[in-house]
């Protein structure tokens, strides 16, 4: 009678598998992914996300290092170039390849340096309104009762003020309108939407089992809010904030165009669009190029926000 034990051991050595391994089910090595993991996997395959990310990356590099792209001064003019403005598109890289404005300043240099003001305003306003609106909405949604009622009515009051009209009134009270003054004016009225979105998300999440478990284990309010509720409520806030960022850049350009936002010597796309309108019949390039840059920037952030929204919404996936 053959030795069963030796036969089994020999088979194990030859195949490299333990005895009985074929009878046991193979372990599932695939790790469960979180919402953010699924979202990132979707975003990497989304062409809108890829295109918008490349555009935004280029804009951020221009904002941080404008001298990498042009050595010309955006404020120094030479009247020799007074409205010689016709773009010389074949001379890419030269100071005058996009033409000159009425004071002999390089349109290309102003286009590059104007990126900084517009992007800084958009990013700073978004950070402020996300922080302020997020905290107020989180407090209102978590505590409820009289706290929710008071904060919700405050939000309704600010929400009822027309955004651009209110920003104009705020800016009129300042004699000098710097970048930070414009940031304050836009952030003063722009936090309401974030607050409403955060409040709704917190009201839903605070009913979850893990929040009740944290309370039962004696976790404090601060820990529950910032360790359990906030990370799970950030998805809709990030979507709204990303889309709104492009709107804040557009609002800054609109206020500068109306003469109530940034003004010379600050270089901004809105300032150049305002100057270009006055010469729209004789020097259309002064209006054309900053308008194109403004439109591409706003479009990039809107595309990014839409891509993030689609990735974070399980129903859309």
Task: Quickly state the pLDDT bin for 290 (edges 50, 70, 90).
Answer: confident
Whether residue 107 is predicted with pLDDT greater than 70 in this model: the reply is yes
* Domain contains 16: no
Residue 128: the pLDDT is 94
Nearest to 48 by CA among 256, 231, 305, 238: 305
Extract the tokens encoding 282. 């004789």
Backbone phi and psi for residue 7, each to the nearest 5 degrees, phi listed first: -65, -40
Whether residue 50 is predicted with pLDDT greater than 90 in this model: the reply is no
* Domain contains 17: no
Q: What CATH number does the domain containing 275 carry?
A: 1.10.3720.10
* Domain contains 229: yes
Peptide bond into 265 cis (omega under 30): yes
Whether residue 139 is predicted with pLDDT greater than 70 in this model: the reply is yes
* Domain contains 11: no
Task: Quickly state the pLDDT bin for 34 (edges 50, 70, 90).
Answer: low
Mean pLDDT of 101-111: 77
Domain count, the chain: 1
Neighbouring CB atoms inside 10 A of 126's CB total 24
Per the structure, the complete domain to which residue 59 belongs is given by 46-312
Neighbouring CB atoms inside 10 A of 103's CB total 15
Task: Quickly state the pLDDT bin for 29 (edges 50, 70, 90).
Answer: very low
Question: What sections of 65-191 are H helices per DSSP?
Answer: 107-143, 145-159, 163-172, 179-190
Of the listed ranges 16-20, 250-254, 305-309, the least confidently predicted one is 16-20
188 or 72, which is more confident: 188
Mean pLDDT of 285-305: 85
In the predicted model, what is the mean pLDDT of the chain? 78
* Domain contains 292: yes
- Residue 106, beta-bridge partner list: 100
Name every residue whose Cβ is closer than 8 Å to that of residue 61 and which is 6 or more positions away in sequence.
Answer: 68
Task: Quickly state the pLDDT bin for 303 (edges 50, 70, 90).
Answer: confident
* pTM for this predicted structure: 0.79
Nearest to 270 by CA among 259, 279, 257, 283: 257
Task: Quickly state the pLDDT bin for 19 (edges 50, 70, 90).
Answer: very low
Residue 129: the pLDDT is 93
Residue 130: the pLDDT is 92
Whether residue 76 is predicted with pLDDT greater than 80 in this model: the reply is no
């Amino acid at each position: 009678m053959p030795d069963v034990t030796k036969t089994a051991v020999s088979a194990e050595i030859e195949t490299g598998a333990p005895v009985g391994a074929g009878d046991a089910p193979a372990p599932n090595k695939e790790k469960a992914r979180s919402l953010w993991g699924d979202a990132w996997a979707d975003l990497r395959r989304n062409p809108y996300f890829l295109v918008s990310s490349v555009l935004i990356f280029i804009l951020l590099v221009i904002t941080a290092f404008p001298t990498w792209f042009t050595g010309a001064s955006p404020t120094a003019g030479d009247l020799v170039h007074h409205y010689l403005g016709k773009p010389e598109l074949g001379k890419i890289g030269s100071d005058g390849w996009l033409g000159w404005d009425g004071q002999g300043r390089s349109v290309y240099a102003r286009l590059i340096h104007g990126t900084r003001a517009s992007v800084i305003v958009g990013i700073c306003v978004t950070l402020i309104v996300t922080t302020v609106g997020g905290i107020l909405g989180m407090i209102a949604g978590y505590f409820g009762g009289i706290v929710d009622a008071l904060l919700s009515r405050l939000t309704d009051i600010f929400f009822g003020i027309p955004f651009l009209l209110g920003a104009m009134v705020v800016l009129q009270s300042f004699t000098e309108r710097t970048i930070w003054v414009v940031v304050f004016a836009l952030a003063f009225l722009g936090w309401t939407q974030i607050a409403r979105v955060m409040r709704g998300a917190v009201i839903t999440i605070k009913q979850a089992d893990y929040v009740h478990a944290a309370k039962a284990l004696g976790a404090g309010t601060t820990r529950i809010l910032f360790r359990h509720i906030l990370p799970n409520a950030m998805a809709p806030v990030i979507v709204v904030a990303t889309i709104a960022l492009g709107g804040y850049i557009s609002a800054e350009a609109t206020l500068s165009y109306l003469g109530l936002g940034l003004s010379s010597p600050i270089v901004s796309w809105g300032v150049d669009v305002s100057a270009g309108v006055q010469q729209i019949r004789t020097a259309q390039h002064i209006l054309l190029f900053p308008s194109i840059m403004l439109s591409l920037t706003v479009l990039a952030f809107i595309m990014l926000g839409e891509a993030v929204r689609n990735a974070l919404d399980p129903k859309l996936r």
